[in-house]
Chains A and B, each alone.
Chain A
C-alpha cells in the first residue's frame, strides 16, 4: 500500500466517527433548554421579531430537516453562520485557531521536555530519584488547571509581577498578520517587542498546561524505558561496554513507537485541557470561543468548533501513524510492501 492510499483510507475510516459525533452534538444542543434567538435578543423582544429571526435561522423547520441541511452543509464545507455575529462559523474559527495552536504547541513542548528529563533521570538513577519522579507524575496529573493556573497567576503575576496573567499580547503590539501565530509572525517580521510580549504572555498558560500533561508523559516514558531495560538486547549492550547513558538511549529508541503513539493520544487531552487553560488565562482561542457561544446556544458555532476538534484529532492520529512508520522498521516493512 502506498503512503497516499494509506492516508486516504484512514480519512475514510474517520468518516463514521465524525458523523456520530456530529449527530450527538446536534441533538445535545437541541435538548438543552432555551431558545437561541431569545438568548440573543432577550425575552422582552416582541414575539413577531423572534419568530422572524427563527425563520431566518431555519429554526422553525422540523428537526430532521434542520439535521439534513446541516449534514449537507458540513460535507460541502459550509458550517453555517453564527447566530451571534452573523459571520461564517469558519471565519470565527480561523480567527481563534492560531491562538489555540500557539498555546497547544508551547504546552506540548513544555510537557515533553519535562517528561523526558524526569523519565531519563528516573531510569538512570533509579533508587530514590525514581520514587520522587513517580510521585511528581501523579501530582502533576491530578492538578486542576483553574486552581493551578490561579496559583501561578498569583505568584508570578500578582506577587512577583514577572509575567502577565492573561491575554495573548500587550494590546497595540500585535505583529502583522502572516500566519496568525504571534510568535512566528513577530519573528518573521523582526518585531522584537511583539515577540517578547507574546512569549511572556505564553509563559504562564503553557507552563500550567504543560506541567499537567507532563505527568502522563513522565510516567509513560519512564515505565517504557524501565521495562525495555530488562530486555536481552540491553544485556548485550551492557556486556559490550556501552556507557550507561547510551544504553538508556537505545532503550528509549526501542520504546519510541509506543511513546509517540501515547504523545499523539495526549494531544487530544491537551486540546481538552486547553479549553480550561484558555478560560483561566483569558486566552482568545477556540476554547474560549466555545464557552462564549455555548452560553448563547449559538448552535452553528458550537457544532463547528466540535467538528474542527474532531478533525484535528483525526489528523493527529494519522500523523502519529506516519511518524511511527518512519521510526519502526518492523511496521515499515510490514505495510509498505
Chain B
C-alpha cells in the first residue's frame, strides 16, 4: 500500500481520514493498526476494502494485492472486477459493529449461503450449507446456529459468525475492525484465542485501540495518528522500545495488571482531521516538540530492523 489517501466531505470541510499511508503486509502476517478514536484507523480498513462513504472527495494511492499469481490494484481497478474477484474472495472484513452486521430477517445459514453463492455458483444450497456448517464449527459454534436468526444469538456468537463468514472463502487478507471491543471480558478472551489459532493461515490487519490485544496477536504494530502512520515495527520492538513520543505516551497511558505504576494521560486531544496541525501532527501534545516540528513534517526513519518512526528527534 502506497500513499493511500481517503478524504471525505463534511459540510464545506474536508476530513482527511487517511492521509498518505504506506505499508506492506506479508503472507500470513498479523499487522495491528493501533491508535486513538478519530485517528483514522477504521477509515483505513474501509479504504482497503474500497467501501467508500457517499461523501468521499478523494481516494487515491495504490493498494497492490498479490494473490494467486495475479496482481490487483484495489484503488484503481474496475468496480465490477473488484466485486467479483476481490471482495470477500481475497479480502474480507469483520466489522466493528458486528452486532448489526448480520441480515436481521435471514437465518444465519441463509445469510452465509447467500454470500458464498455469489462467489461459488457451483455450490448448490445443500453443499453451501454444509460449507457454512463447517465454518461455523471451526469458530467453536454448534451447527444448529445456522437455523437461528441473529436476534437469537449473543454478541459473542454473532462476532464468531462474522469471523466464520470472513474466513469461509479462504481469503488471503482479513481486516478485523475492533473485533473484541463490544464484548464482555470472557467472550473477549474466547475471541482472542480464536484469532490466535487462525494466525499463519491468513494475513490479518487488526484495527484496535487495545494495545494489549495488539501485543498478544500481532507480529507487527503500526501506530496511527491523525490519518498517518507515525511508527511501525515488530510488536516487541514497538512495545519495549517505542521511538516515537506518541507511541511512548500511548504505552504509558495503558494500564497493566502486573506492574504497579502511575498511569499518565496524553495532554490535549486528538487533532482535527479537517485542519491538522502543520509540521508534525503530534507536536501540540508532544513534550519534546522543537521548532522544526511546527514547520516541517518529519520523514520516516529506520530505527531498527524493520522498525521505522517519523519523528525529528530521531534525525538529530
Residues of A near any B CB (own CB < 8 A): 231-233, 235-243, 246, 250, 253-254, 256, 327-330, 333
Contact = CB atoms under 8 A, between A and B. Distances in A.
Given A241-B118, A333-B149, A232 B84 contact: no
16 contacts: A232-B100, A236-B101, A241-B82, A241-B84, A241-B87, A241-B88, A241-B119, A242-B83, A242-B115, A254-B105, A329-B105, A329-B151, A330-B104, A330-B105, A330-B151, A333-B152
Contacts of B88: 239-241
B50 to A, nearest CB: 9
B295 to A, nearest CB: 40
A327 B162 CA distance: 24
Nearest to A334: B151
Contacts of A239: 49, 51, 87-88, 92-93, 95
A240 B118 contact: yes
B149 A329 contact: yes
Contacts of B101: 232-233, 235-236
A235 B86 CA distance: 16
A238 B86 CA distance: 12
B135 to A, nearest CB: 14
Contacts of A232: 95, 97, 99-101
The 6 closest A-B pairs by CB, nearest first: A241-B87, A232-B100, A240-B115, A240-B88, A241-B83, A232-B97
A257 B50 CA distance: 32
B201 interface: no
Contacts of A235: 51, 95, 101
Interface string B131-154: 000000000000000000101100
A256 to B, nearest CB: 7
A250 B118 contact: no
B297 interface: no
Nearest to A254: B105
A240 B82 CA distance: 10
Contacts of A327: 105
Interface string B77-111: 00000111011110011010101111111110000
Nearest to A236: B101
Contact of A256 (B105, B107, B115): B105
Nearest to B116: A240
Nearest to B88: A240
Contact of B89 (A231, A241, A256, A333): A241
Contacts of A238: 51, 87
Given A240-B92, A243-B118, 18 more contacts: A232-B99, A232-B101, A233-B102, A235-B51, A235-B95, A236-B102, A238-B87, A240-B87, A240-B88, A241-B87, A241-B88, A241-B119, A242-B83, A243-B83, A254-B105, A329-B107, A329-B149, A330-B149
Among B86, B118, B152, the one with the most A-chain Cβ atoms within 10 Å of its Cβ is B118
A233 B107 CA distance: 13
Interface in B138-178: 149, 151-152, 162, 165
Given A239-B92, A240-B92, A241-B83, A233 B118 contact: no
A233 B103 contact: yes
Given A233-B100, A330-B151, A253 B105 contact: yes
A239 B82 CA distance: 10
A246 B111 CA distance: 13
Contacts of A236: 95, 101-103, 115, 162, 165
Nearest to B96: A232
Nearest to A127: B54
A327 B104 CA distance: 12
Contact of B115 (A237, A253, A329, A333): A237
A93 B242 CA distance: 87
Contacts of A333: 149, 152
Contacts of B149: 329-330, 333
Contacts of B92: 239-240
Nearest to B87: A241
A240 B112 CA distance: 10
Contacts of A242: 83, 114-115, 118
Nearest to B91: A239
A243 B93 CA distance: 17
Contacts of B152: 333
A239 B93 CA distance: 7
Nearest to B49: A239
Nearest to B82: A241
A225 B85 CA distance: 27
A247 to B, nearest CB: 10
A152 B102 CA distance: 48
Contacts of A254: 103-105
A330 B93 CA distance: 27
Interface string B195-231: 0000000000000000000000000000000000000
